[in-house]
Every structure is written in C-alpha cells, then in structure tokens.
Structure 1
Amino acid sequence: MMNDDDKQPEGNPWMKSLLIWVGILVGLALFVALFDGPTRATAGEGIAYSEFIQKVDEGAVRKVDIAGKVATGTVDGDKTFRVYLPDDPSLSQRLLEKGVVLTVKPEEQPSIWQYILVQSLPFLLIIGVAFFVMRQMQKNAGSGAMGFGKSRAKMLTQKEGRITFADVAGIDEAREELEEIVEFLKDPSKFARLGGKIPKGALLVGSPGTGKTLLARAIAGEAGVPFFTISGSDFVEMFVGVGASRVRDMFEQAKKSAPCIVFIDEIDAVGRHRGAGLGNGNDEREQTLNQLLVEMDGFEANEGIIIIAATNRPDVLDPALLRPGRFDRQVVVPRPDIEGRVKILEVHMKKVPLAPDVDPRTIARGTPGFSGADLANLVNEAALTAARKGKRLVANAEFEEAKDKVMMGAERRSMVMTDDEKKMTAYHEAGHAIVSVHEAASDPIHKATIIPRGRALGMVMRLPERDNYSYHRDKMYANLSVSMGGRVAEELIFGYDKVSSGASSDISYASGLARDMVTRWGMSEALGPLEYSEPDGETFLGYSSARPIRMSNQTAQLIDDEVKRIVLGAHERAKDVLTENIDQLHILAKALLEYETLTGDEIKRLIAGDDIGRDQPKGARPVPLGTGGSSIPKTKRGGFSGDPAPQGA
C-alpha cells in the first residue's frame, strides 16, 4: 500500500462537475457575445417607420446611419433611435432635402468561420453531452456501457481507520501465517537466500464472523505494496465472457503495480466446482473460473502478485483452485478459544468506558463459541444498554444483560401469560434444571428464567467450564436426559392429558442428537462403528464431499429403533431423577414463579435448602403451587428451549 507521501491528491468530483458547467456557461456567453456584438453596436430605442418619417418631416432628425435594412441615428438632439426600413427609393431624397446628415454602409455579412460555427454548433453540443455522459458512466471501471469487461478491483488507500495486525486478536496462528507474507514483501532477500519463493496465494477459511476480512484489512494496513480488493460476485454478469474479461483486466492492473496483493472476498461466488450447472460447461461462471485458474498459474507466470481469498464454503470450491501453485496456503480462521476471546474483548473494550467490576476473562468464560463479530456485538450492546440507563460507565450488569440478549433473545415482558401458563413454564424449566444438577456429565447451569425471550417462553442456559472440541458418550446421554427433563416434569405435575407442546424444540434436539450418535458417530452397539448418514455436502455430477450411503430397509428400520431406544432411555432417566427429587422440583418452580430469573449459584443454594438472600421483586404476585391440572391450551406459540446441539465429535 502506498504511503501518505506517495498518494496523489484526489480531485473533488463535485468541484470537477462545477468547473465543467462553468466552462459550458462561459462558452455560451462568448458565443452570444460574438453574434450579439453588431446588434448591440446599433443599439437604440426602436421606433415605428411612420414615427421616423414624421420626425424627419418635423426636422427633429439630424443624423442617420443606414446599414442594410436598419437605420440608426439621433433625434431631438441626443436621443438615439433604431428603425427597420422598407423598400422606399424616395427615402434618401427626403432625408437630404431636410438637411439630415446621411451615412450609408453596406450590410455586414458573417465571416466563413461564423457560418461554420453556426452550422456545426448543434452537432458539437450533441457530441459534448454524449462524451460527458459516457465519461460519467465509465468513471467506475466496468459500470459504463463500454466498460463491461473492465475490472472492478479497487485500490485500498486507508485514508483513515487504518487496521494493523495489532488490531487482530484471538487468531494468532492465522495472523502469523499472513504476517510472514507481509514480511516477505518487505524483505524478500531474507527468504530468497535459502531458495524460498513468495507464496502465490493464501485462502482464508473460517465460519462467518471469525475475522477473515479483518485479517485482509490488516494486511492492507501493514504491507508496503498496493492492495487491490474485489468481491467474487463482481466478476459475474449476465453477459457471457464479461467475467473472464474482468479477470484479465484485474491481473493487467496488478501487473502494472507489482509487487502487489489482490484480495478476493467470498471467492466461492466464482470458484464453485465446475460441472455443477445444468449446461455443458460453457456458462459464464465456469469461463470466469477457467480464466482465473490460468491467470493464477498458467503459461505466463504473474510474478509479484499475491492472491488472498476468503470463503466460509471451502467444500464447494473447485479442486484445481485449491492446489499448491494457486493457493499455496489454506489458513484456517477458527472461532477463538477462551484466551482468544479475552484478547478480542480487550481490543473492543478500549473504546468503552468500563466500570471497575468488569472482568474480560469472566465475560469470555461465559461466551463459548462466540466469534469475533459476536463479541464485538456484545460489547456494543452493553454500551447501548448503559446509555439507555443514563450511565457514564459500562458495568458488569450491562454485559450480563447484553449477553442474555445476544444468546437468548430480547425479553418479551409485554407478553401476557396466565397463571397456569406461568406455572407450566416454571415446572418445565425447573425440570431441566433439576436433571442438569443431578447429571454429573452435564455442564453447570448459568441461568434459568421464565421470562419469554425470543421464541421461547422460558429457558435454562448451561455454560461449559472450558471450551469443548469434542463430546463424549456420557455427556451426550446427560444432554439427552436434560432435554427430556421439561417434558417429564409436565407429565409428573400436570398429568398425561395436560402435557403441552412446549417441549417441541427439546424433542427435536434429542432426536437429532440420538440419530447422529447412531448414524455418524458409531455409538450404537446394534449397528457398530459405521457411518450411515447421507452426505451433507453438495453433489456435483458424481462428486460429493461425502460418499453416498446405500441402506437397506432393514438397516433403516434398525436405525429408527435405536434412535427411539436412546431417546426413550433418556426420558426414563429424567423421570427417575425427578421422581426421586420431587421436593426440589417444587421448591425451584416456586422460586422461579417468585423471582422469574435465577442464577446457577442461587439454584444450588435452593436445592441445598439455603436462602438465596434476596427479596421478592416488586409487583410479583405469588402463584399457588398445586399438583392438579391447568388450563393451558393444547397448542400455543413458542416453546421451551433446549440446549444448543453439540458439535460433531
């Protein structure tokens, strides 16, 4: 990227347009002055011919100048006049008889240049307007009628808000890979002395929000070479051949500025596997991809041009695009671990006035699985919450409120629920919590609430004590039991006929987890350690990211039986836990009805028989607890939340 001293001052587009229109107006003024000169030279007050003859007869006219059909002169001493003359042969004799000083001039004829200018002026105006319009249309490369094949790559100039590697946190390994490329550009001799060559390309792969584009901006801020940026969708148009032409033009621009870096964001828009379409391979996207492959590593080597691309769909990219020589490095940008989250939070908290009770590590521990974008949004939500409350500092309470809003959704306190609905929700969530407390492999409870959030009427949130990269069998069985706890609590307290549809998300989660255990992770003794799942990736005319599985009807039936056995076993396990601890279920449900939200520590104290140490909230109305039925309708909006599905082991 160019230094500030090397940048050329950019003109103001508004000032350029103003100067163009001023030039046009000045030209028109000169043109009018050119042809209006003779007319103004003979300027005077126009009078009628009859009045002119009358003035001559009265002797008031002393001097007359005749030029063609126009006569000018003075009347009544100093008053000038102008009159158009008819064909009157006796006029000259009459003027002489009255003693008028008569001067006759030939009619002034326009010059050949004036004649040519008059005839060509309309055409010149049309050509000038057309040129101006075309120039405006082609100002941005590729946007004009004659610029379809021009590249839309823009050189990043970092006038303000410059991003460097110091602003990138939590993804140290990915940053180090790209720092080496920047170092190679700054000092190539350090690597060349050992025979090393600069990488031709680097592909940034990661989930949305992990910081791929931020890394690219950091490279632009650190590198001392020109940095071009373009999106993958900018290559493809409705006209065949335009994308390939833009690829050629982009590399031509890059060659002129080599060494340089070209960043292609969302390259999967143009780099999808060939043969995926319904055509015969001649569609626009495939032609663009073919041209990109040739330009990156073909017969003509593009020395000094480094391609950096970003995508969150590496499974759909063409294998020819991923091979070394085109993308020598595939840099994985993962979701940050707890240490990475601490660093990311510290970066975003620099601009926020914090209260003394804010600890980034505590917040990082409570946000497992958050990406860099999620953490930035969390800090922003906390700042907005503090601003709404009129505070000058952002405290830990605002971060907790923002975290609940991001993870569970906004509170819907305006939602009207009957006492029976609240009671059902309280027992449902208490069932989840009690089973979670008594399952040794379950994650600890962070918070339980019966305040509607998002699409759920209530929620029990569990947070892991550390980042989990794989899940074990005992934890999966614990998660299944916890997910069934809400449904079992409804059955035990309200009876079989009063079970609601609130456990729909819990049942969906438990069924999906059990099926993954059987078909993907080999955790069924009846089926063994084999994969029976259908491919998840896209299929391109026989190519797929996973081999298709052919199952017999007997195998499919056996899979269904195993899934049912695992889910029903979790249901029985949850029923045993809640039956043995029915008193704890009543205590926790009553506390949820009184306080609406309980933390994990408060739940532990309640179960142990201790007081949680806070007063009942103002305006809360105690609801009597009973074991009878309720008037909850069979179907209702929303549902009770389960736990987030674990990642594949």
Structure 2
Amino acid sequence: MNANWTKNGFVYLLILVAVVALFFSLFPQTSQVETQEISTIAEWIKQGKVASVSIVGDEVRVRPCVEGQNAVEKACKASDQVVISRKEPTPGLTEQLISLGVTTAQLNLIDLRVEPPSDVGNWLTFLGSLLPLVFIGALFFFLLRQAQGGNNQAMAFGKSRARMFTGDKPTVTFADVAGADEAKQELQEVVEFLKEPQKFAALGARIPKGVLMVGAPGTGKTLMAKAVAGEAGVPFFSISGSEFVEMFVGVGASRVRDLFEQAKRNSPCIIFIDEIDAVGRHRGAGLGGSHDEREQTLNQILVEMDGFDTDTNIIVVAATNRPDILDPALLRPGRFDRQVVMDRPDMKGRKAILEVHAKGKPLGADVDLESLARQTPGFVGADLENLLNEAAILTARRNKRKIGMPELQEAVERVMAGPERRSRIISDREKEIIAYHEAGHALVGHMLPNCDPIHKISIISRGMALGYTMSVPENDTVLKSKTKFEDELAMALGGRAAEALVFTDITNGAAGDLDRVTKMARSMVTQYGMSPKLGPMVFGRKDDLVFMGREISEQRNYSEDVAEDIDREVRRIVDDAYLRAKAILANYRDKLDLLAKTLIQKETLSHDEFLALLADLPAPLPQAPRGASPSSAGASSTPRPADDRRDPRGSLPSAPAPLPA
C-alpha cells in the first residue's frame, strides 16, 4: 500500500492543487476593499476628499484624504484606505472626470498617476484559466492508471490474466496426490527435466512441449497440476481456457502472446491451462463464422507451442475431460507430446485417497477405510473428499468427538442417493409395496451368481428414491460379460416382478428400473453385439452437437427390417430377464414375504441381517441356457407376461410421475 501511495503521490498532489485552484477561481473570496462607481469618485474629487488616484489598466485605485483634511484647502495626506473603481476603456479617465463636472484645477490638487499592469497578475490570470484543463487532464490520467493497474484491468484487454506462482513455497506436492501412480510417474519425469536437464540432454532427449491430462471430472487433474508446481520449484503460470476469449475481437490471441512472453522471461517454467477445451475445440465447427475469435486464439496457441521461435524451456500442461473434441493439430507430437490419463481409481487407489483426506480428521477405532473403498466403486477423488467431509459434518451434528463408521456409512448413502427424508408421509399400503419392491431386488440379486453381493436394503426415502437396494462388488472390474448383463437385468426387474406377483396391480415405482433395463438391453444389441440373431455388429451412428460436442441423436444406418429385428431382440432380452426374476420370486415366495415384513418393521437391513434371513437357502441358481428363460427353455421367443400390462403396440407404459425406487 505504501509503495502505491509513493508511486502515485505526484498525481494525488497535482489533483489536490488543481482542485483548490479551481475552487478559488470559480468561487473567488469577497474582497475587503471598498468599490465605488466612477461618478461617486468624481463627486469626492469636487469635495476635495481624494488625495491620490492610480490608474492600472481599467482599474482606478483611489486613496481618500485623512479624515479631517481637505485637498481644496491644502494638500491632504492620503489614508491607508483604498477605494476601487472601474473606468470605461475609452476615453481616458481625465476626460471621463471632466465630463462628470470635475474641473482642471480640482484635478491638479490630487496626485494622478498611470501605472503599468503587473506581470504577476497576468500570469495569475493565465494560470487561472489553465488550471481547469490541468485538472481534467490529471483526473483522466489518474483514472487510466487505476483502470490498468487495478484488479479488474478494465483497459488492459490484451494482457494475460495468468496467475504466477514462484514455486519456492509449495502448498501441494505429489505426496498429497493418491490413486494415480502412473500419471504421477509421467509428470515426475517432467519435473526431473526442469530440475536436471543435462541428464536428458546427454542422451539426446528433448524436453516435451506439452502434457495433456485427460480424465473424468473430479479425478484430480487440477490437483496434479498444483503438485507439479510444488515439486518443480520453477515459476508456474495458471490460467483457465475461458479467460482467453472476451467479447472484443483479437483479445484471445493477444493474451496468448502476452502469456508466452511472460513465460519466456521466466523460463524454465510451466504454463497450466485448465479446461483447454474452451479454446481448443476442433476448428471449423462454428456455423456462420461465429467462432472465429476462438479459432484465432487456438491458432496463436498452436504457433506459440510449436512455431519458429520454440527454443525455450517452457512446458505447457493442460487439463480437459473432453479430449474427443480437441483439434487434431493440438494433439500431434511436438505440441502435446504426452497424454496422461487420470482414470477413476480402483479399490486400492480409493483407499489411498481416503487416507490422504483423512489426515487431520479424528477417526474412531472402528473405522475401516478398506471397507469404505470397497463400498464406493466408481467414486473419484472429489467424491471421496466429499464423503469424508459429509461424515465430519454428521459427527459434529451428533455432538461426537471422533468420526465413526456409522457416520461414514451414512455419508456414503448421502453421496449416492441423497439425504434421508423421514418426514415424507407414506401410507401403510405404499410402505408395503416399497418393501416388497426392494425385497424383490435383493432376493433376485442374491440368487443369481453374477450379481454383486447385497450390502444394504432400506425403505427409507432418500432424495428422489422411495427406497434402495445397495449392492457392492467384491472387486473392481473393467469388462462385463453377457451373463452378468442378463443377471443384472433380472435383478433390476425384480422389484416390478415382486409387485406383479404379490399385488393385483402394479405401480409406477419401477419407472427408473424400466428405463435402465431398456437402455441396457438396447446397448447389448446395438453396441456390444450380444444378440445371437443380429450378430457382432454395431447399429446406428451417433450425431454430436456442433457447438457442445454432445450426442443429440442417432443416425440410423440400417433398414426398417433390421430395426424391427432390433426391437424384437431387445424385447426378448427384457422378457427373459423378467420371467427369470418372477420365477425366482415364485419359488421363494416365503423368503420374499419374510424380507418384506422385516423391512416394514426395521426399515433397514444390513448385509449380515440379510444373510441371516436367507441362511437356509441353497446356493445361487445356475445360469439358464442362453436365449431361454427358466419358464420357457428352448422357446425361440418368450411369451409376454400376462400381468405386465402393455398397450396394444406392445411397449412399456409410460409412468405419469416417475418415482425411482
């Protein structure tokens, strides 16, 4: 703050002086000198009351006689009082006085002098007229300096807004990043090159120009960039892709030039561009030239990364979750030489991430982070950090000193399905339907060999769901077989099958299940080639949105006959799964009733309680032969269930108000 005042002190002083001078020029102080008309002065001369008269330009300065003296009787002495008057420019003062009745003899009695105007007075008059212009100029200069030097940089449109970190005080290091060992190793080499370039230069290796980090949202791309900044110990420039482009033409390219000029002055250094897809989208995607400004910015980035002047130790690190829409020129070797994939962590990685975020939090003795990692498949780093934060908030709400396993379990369910809604009023009839619905999911999933183990069943409303059945995989898997798809379809339809089996009517509670089942079955037929009739082929081509890169429609590249076969195959797969689920529930109706009644009483069943209720059941049912269901083995097409009400066209009825269960 002191430096700013010193820097702008002259400007502040100039403005202050100009304001004061302008005030005095616009609002002059009233003088204590008496002013009179020239006719009054003429009368005083006739009466002999004037001792001397001085003429300075048009101003007449009159000194009266000392009180008691008279110039007619004898020469009087001039008093200290000065009376000011104004004469006309022409004729002279003598002629004006004579015209007012003053005689020559009376004029000879007074001291009449003509004095030249003062140069100081002329300068003051000139400065008085100049000060308003000086004030306006100083004010404009001050506002311009403030606009350029302030945080908003209202006038510095072409300047880069990148934030520079020196790297001498790292806040994040590689020790704070877990669950991405391969990505960490790739970026560790970049850090080593900046620290020890001679080690690589001796082998003829060149520095990589750019590193592109690709991954789903929340996988830790920005955190990894912060760790690189902390480990490298070199200047680090951070900027978002959206900060380049403004409403003014040419601003984006100008900011790119300014950014790389700053980087060259501080090389070796690292430039981090977050969300680079904001400016790096495929060129030519805009309609009507509306994206010319963004394309100019991208062209400037391409030139700066690999143009004529590239003999600099600058590494560009960028992050995006949409690598498919980036321009090919941006991804070629020489620009972004490496693509580091920040994938969703596996169970081991999730445990390591939980251990990192658990530092500084008081955990109870019953906390098992490995069990939490097993319960959270598909969670990314941001989800796991949110999970521990929610657990800490719940612990504080319950006035506990340490975070226990119940709070962590509750946090997992809050992140997955939302908070509990115990205040929702549900009738006994609806509660019974929900209990049978969830019991149907759990029983079918337990009896099929390829479904994940049931971890928890609840009929307490959470978020938009009236109830939920949580299944946790024993191990993380990447590939999913056809039999697993079919078992999961049957489990998803277990809720609808239980409603149809127990009650005389069905509800719209299975709307979410039906939507998931339909999409899964269609993907099996059109994308994964899992239909024996249609074979290993992909049907349909996806159309992407021009500006956003999002899928908006599917272009049919097949005939109407093939479309009809696809619909038949999707229906067959869904009907087979539905009949399998209904057969399991019919065979073990007593266990279905037991689960539902226990849920109505307790509202929630844990894994151990669920297994205790089904302890006397046999091993999971074997997988039915492909293309057949337990009730229609060998049939080429499965008959439609009589109690699954369909419209005349044979499609599933649309729910008026979907209530996912």
Query: TM-score, with normalisation over the residues of structure 2?
Result: 0.79
Deviation at 1:479, TM superposition (A): 0.5
1:195-344 equivalences in 2 (<5 Å): 195-279=204-288, 283-344=292-353
Report the counterpart of residue 565 of structure 2 in structure 1: 558
For the Cα contact (< 8 Å) 2:280–2:327, is it kept in 1? yes
Amino acid at match of 1:134: L
Amino acid at match of 1:184: F
Deviations 1:352-396 (A, max 9, x none): 222222222222111111111111111111111112222222222
Q: Which runs of 5+ in 1 are unaligned?
A: 1-9, 50-63, 98-102, 611-633, 642-649
Deviation at 1:584, TM superposition (A): 0.9
1:115-194 equivalences in 2 (<5 Å): 115-139=125-149, 143-145=153-155, 147-157=156-166, 162-194=171-203
For the Cα contact (< 8 Å) 1:142–1:150, is it kept in 2? no
Query: What SS does structure 1 have at the residue aligned with 2:120?
Result: coil
Deviation at 1:595, TM superposition (A): 1.3
Report the counterpart of residue 60 of structure 1 in structure 2: none
Alignment of 1:23 onto 2:13: yes
Alignment of 1:528 onto 2:548: no
- The one of 423, 429, 444 aligned to 1:420: 429
Q: What RMSD, in angstroms, separates the aligned Cα atoms of the two structures?
A: 4.2
Query: What SS does structure 2 have at the residue aligned with 1:503?
Result: helix
Deviation at 1:487, TM superposition (A): 0.2
Deviations 1:393-420 (A, max 9, x none): 2222211111111011111122111111
Residues in 1 aligned to 2:276 and 2:63: alpha-carbon distance in whole angstroms: 80
Residues in 2 aligned to 1:24 and 1:165: alpha-carbon distance in whole angstroms: 53
Higher mean C-alpha displacement, 480-489 vs 270-279: 270-279
Deviations 1:25-57 (A, max 9, x none): 643477489989xx99x98698999xxxxxxxx
For the Cα contact (< 8 Å) 1:315–1:537, is it kept in 2? no
For the Cα contact (< 8 Å) 1:336–1:370, is it kept in 2? yes
Alignment of 1:584 onto 2:591: yes
Report the counterpart of residue 659 of structure 2 in structure 1: 639
Report the counterpart of residue 600 of structure 1 in structure 2: 607
Alignment of 1:110 onto 2:120: yes
Q: Which has the larger radius of gyration?
A: 2
Query: Using a 3 Å threshold, how does the CA distance of structure 1 residues 35 and 82 change in structure 2: closer, same or farther?
Result: farther
Residues in 2 aligned to 1:339 and 1:599: alpha-carbon distance in whole angstroms: 24
Query: Using a 3 Å threshold, how does the CA distance of structure 1 residues 576 and 605 change in structure 2: closer, same or farther?
Result: same
Q: Larger relative contact order (C-alpha < 8 A, sep ≥ 6)?
A: 1
For the Cα contact (< 8 Å) 1:275–1:281, is it kept in 2? no
Deviations 1:478-509 (A, max 9, x none): 110100100011001112xx200111110111
Amino acid at match of 1:27: V
Deviation at 1:139, TM superposition (A): 3.0
Residues in 2 aligned to 1:188 and 1:142: alpha-carbon distance in whole angstroms: 38
For the Cα contact (< 8 Å) 1:134–1:144, is it kept in 2? no
Residues in 2 aligned to 1:394 and 1:11: alpha-carbon distance in whole angstroms: 48
Deviations 1:594-614 (A, max 9, x none): 11111122111122379xxxx
Query: Using a 3 Å threshold, how does the CA distance of structure 1 residues 22 and 390 change in structure 2: closer, same or farther?
Result: farther
Higher mean C-alpha displacement, 219-228 vs 22-31: 22-31
- For these two proteins, the number of residue pairs brought into alignment is 594
Deviation at 1:175, TM superposition (A): 1.1
Deviations 1:239-270 (A, max 9, x none): 33332232222222222222221111111111
For the Cα contact (< 8 Å) 1:141–1:150, is it kept in 2? no
- The one of 475, 490, 496 aligned to 2:499: 490
Deviations 1:144-173 (A, max 9, x none): 34x333333232357977212221111111
Residues in 2 aligned to 1:599 and 1:69: alpha-carbon distance in whole angstroms: 111
Amino acid at match of 2:138: G
Deviation at 1:471, TM superposition (A): 1.1
Identity %: 50
Query: What SS does structure 2 have at the residue aligned with 1:639?
Result: coil
Deviations 1:122-141 (A, max 9, x none): 22222222222222333369
Report the counterpart of residue 626 of structure 1 in structure 2: none
Query: What SS does structure 2 have at the residue aligned with 1:261?
Result: strand
Query: Using a 3 Å threshold, how does the CA distance of structure 1 residues 551 and 539 change in structure 2: closer, same or farther?
Result: farther
Deviation at 1:118, TM superposition (A): 2.3
Amino acid at match of 1:391: K
Report the counterpart of residue 46 of structure 2 in structure 1: none
Deviation at 1:190, TM superposition (A): 0.9
Higher mean C-alpha displacement, 455-464 vs 149-158: 149-158
For the Cα contact (< 8 Å) 1:170–1:341, is it kept in 2? yes
Residues in 1 aligned to 2:399 and 2:355: alpha-carbon distance in whole angstroms: 23
Residues in 1 aligned to 2:585 and 2:396: alpha-carbon distance in whole angstroms: 44
Deviation at 1:476, TM superposition (A): 1.1
Query: TM-score, with normalisation over the residues of structure 1?
Result: 0.80
1:470-549 equivalences in 2 (<5 Å): 470-495=479-504, 498-535=505-542
For the Cα contact (< 8 Å) 1:265–1:311, is it kept in 2? yes
Alignment of 1:569 onto 2:576: yes
Amino acid at match of 1:450: I
Query: Using a 3 Å threshold, how does the CA distance of structure 1 residues 160 and 272 change in structure 2: closer, same or farther?
Result: same
Query: What SS does structure 2 have at the residue aligned with 1:204?
Result: strand
Alignment of 1:463 onto 2:483: no
